[in-house]
Amino acid sequence: MLDFLGTLPLCLGTMTNRSQSAPLDGDTARQHFYAAMILLLVALLLGGVNRNVNHLAVELAALPLFYLLVRDRAQVQLGASGRFALGAFAVALLQLVPLPPALWTALPGRELAVDVYRAAGMAPGWRPMALDPGAAALALATLVPALILFIGVRNLPWEQRRRLLGIIAAVAFASALLGVGQRLMGIGPLYQTMHRGFSTGLFVNRNHQADLILAGVLLLPALVPAPRLDSLRLPLSVAVVMLGLAVTATTSRMGLLLAMPAVLLSLALVWRPPLRLVVPVAAVYLVAAVLVLQLPVFAPLLARLGDAGNDDRAWIADTTLVASRAMWPVGSGYGSFVPVYAAYEDLDRMAALRVVAAHNDFLQIILEGGLGGLLTILGALGLLAHNAWRLWSRDGQAQAPALAWAAFGCLGVLLLHSLVDFPMRMAALMALFATCAGASDAVQQFVAKGRELT
């Protein structure tokens, strides 16, 4: 595994950086599309739980697309985003490079490891920066399918990107139906979970189910070609509202907060109201949403919203920050959160359940990745903002297709939810993020050539 992780950036890094070369087409594009589709489907259907066998299935599903990317590397474009993603992955791999004892023992936060060696009567040997190299290798391996999928999707013709986004919307709808059945009809969850009785759909966690449904809310209207929109406005509106209501079955607090603007934006995309009506229509929508939430069926969700002040996330974040400062600037190593957090946990606040994640992906990346993790976050956000600006600012108009903006909206949902949860640690949502990022990346090259994308 370590050999494969180490050669991955080199293999993909041999691809062309020519930003203006033609995208894949013909039989080659179809092969890449089907390989990407298989990877996306496997990730969405099996990547909703952190189990080794599920991760293995996703890793294996990435191999055909990886082979095609390497085989056709002369035609595959990385672009700025692809080069950044590979560079960030290569930097993360530095955590696995063995260091001499005099060097790694001097790193911040390694005192306990040194004491363990001394207590065992052993001399410290060569070790990498990561406190748990095995966990770091596994954590980085889970990123590989998403990295491959991102590069693969961004090189597909636009119509094939649209089909992949359509697959996400279809799976989101199916997961929403399953979740409603779990909530209202007592259908058992797919996995053993603390969230039994609520809508978890294809996931083990109701918050991650909410993220997938929200992706469906944003993507569904944008998938309909503009000429057919007039005849489908009513059924599309019903579908969007039903998906929005399906989010409430998860009782995810952040899911509800994100669902309200997501549904509003999707309905605006369906009906395209004049600008002068946007504010009053939005006000009526929000009032109606608040009134609907007063129905007895939504009582559990309102109870969770009222209990937000008693949530453990705030002090988990505080402890994560304390551990991050102790490990700064090298980090503790990816995959090491659980034991490192336990070492710094306040005994007076210790809960009966083990804390398995920081419930803030950004803080956890900084703890585990140190300065490299922080720079990765800033660089990724900067690239996303740059791409969005390029799409918006060309000729002073929003030239990109609605579906590209819907994909950006899905990225925004996942990033915002990452402030209070850990969606980006699930293979399914990593694949969703990679597909939407790849679909919205470099769209301007199609726009510049005057291609019809709507």
Q: Angle at which helices 52-71 and 26-46 pack, to 10 degrees?
A: 170
Q: Which one is predicted more confidently, 361 or 285?
A: 361
What integer is the mean pLDDT of 206-212?
96
Q: Determine whether 424 is exposed, middle or buried from the number of CB atoms within 10 Å of its CB (0-12, 13-18, 19+).
A: buried
Query: What percent of the chain is modeled with pLDDT above 70?
Result: 84
pLDDT above 50 (res 60): yes
Q: Give the DSSP letter of residue 19.
A: T
What integer is the mean pLDDT of 72-88?
92
3-state secondary structure 65-88: HHHHHHHCCCCCECHHHHHHHHHH
pLDDT above 80 (res 207): yes
Model pTM score: 0.90
What token pair was written down for 282? 């939005």
Q: Which of 159, 151, 147 lies closest to 73 in space, CA to CA?
A: 151
User: Per-domain residue ranges for the chain?
Assistant: 2-314+326-448
Q: How many CA atoms lie within 13 A of 247 on its CB side?
A: 28
What integer is the mean pLDDT of 319-330?
94
Q: Which one is predicted more confidently, 142 or 264?
A: 142
Distance separating alpha carbons of residues 424 and 256, to the nearest angstrom: 19
Residue 293 CA: distances (Å) to CA of 78, 241, 305, 417: 46, 13, 12, 21
Cβ atoms of residues 252 and 225 within 8 Å: no
Summarised one tens digit per residue, pLDDT across range 261-279 is 899 889 888 887 776 776 7
Hey, how many other C-beta atoms are within 10 angstroms of the C-beta on 114?
14
Summarised one tens digit per residue, pLDDT across range 418-438 is 999 999 999 999 999 999 999
Distance separating alpha carbons of residues 290 and 206, to the nearest angstrom: 22
Summarised one tens digit per residue, pLDDT across range 149-195 is 999 999 999 889 999 999 999 999 999 999 999 988 889 899 998 88
- The residues near 185 (Cβ < 8 Å, ≥ 6 apart) are none
In the numeric block, the tokens 């001097």 are attached to 106
Give the length of the chain: 454
Cβ atoms of residues 330 and 371 within 8 Å: yes
Q: What is the pLDDT of residue 396?
A: 40
Cα 434 to the center of its chain, rounded Å: 7
Q: Which of 6, 1, 2 lies closest to 86 in space, CA to CA?
A: 6
- The residues near 386 (Cβ < 8 Å, ≥ 6 apart) are none
pLDDT above 50 (res 398): no
Summarised one tens digit per residue, pLDDT across range 281-296 is 777 777 777 776 676 7
What 3-state class would DSSP assign to 223?
A: coil
Q: What is the pLDDT of residue 162?
A: 92
Distance separating alpha carbons of residues 88 and 95, to the nearest angstrom: 12
Cβ atoms of residues 328 and 388 within 8 Å: no
What integer is the mean pLDDT of 320-338?
94
Average predicted confidence (pLDDT) for the chain: 86
What 3-state class would DSSP assign to 21?
A: coil
Distance separating alpha carbons of residues 208 and 414, to the nearest angstrom: 9
Q: What is the pLDDT of residue 42?
A: 98
Query: What percent of the chain is modeled with pLDDT above 90?
Result: 56
pLDDT above 50 (res 450): no
Cα 184 to the center of its chain, rounded Å: 28
Q: What is the pLDDT of residue 402?
A: 83
Distance separating alpha carbons of residues 270 and 256, to the nearest angstrom: 21
H-only helix segments in 206-252:
206-222, 226-248
Q: What is the pLDDT of residue 20?
A: 44
Summarised one tens digit per residue, pLDDT across range 220-261 is 988 888 778 888 889 999 999 999 999 989 989 899 889 988
Q: Which one is predicted more confidently, 144 or 117?
A: 144
Q: What is the pLDDT of residue 22?
A: 54
**Cis ω for the linkage preceding 329 (within 30 of 0):** yes
Phi, psi of 339 (to 5 degrees): -70, -35
pLDDT above 60 (res 309): no
pLDDT above 90 (res 205): yes
Distance separating alpha carbons of residues 182 and 196, to the nearest angstrom: 8
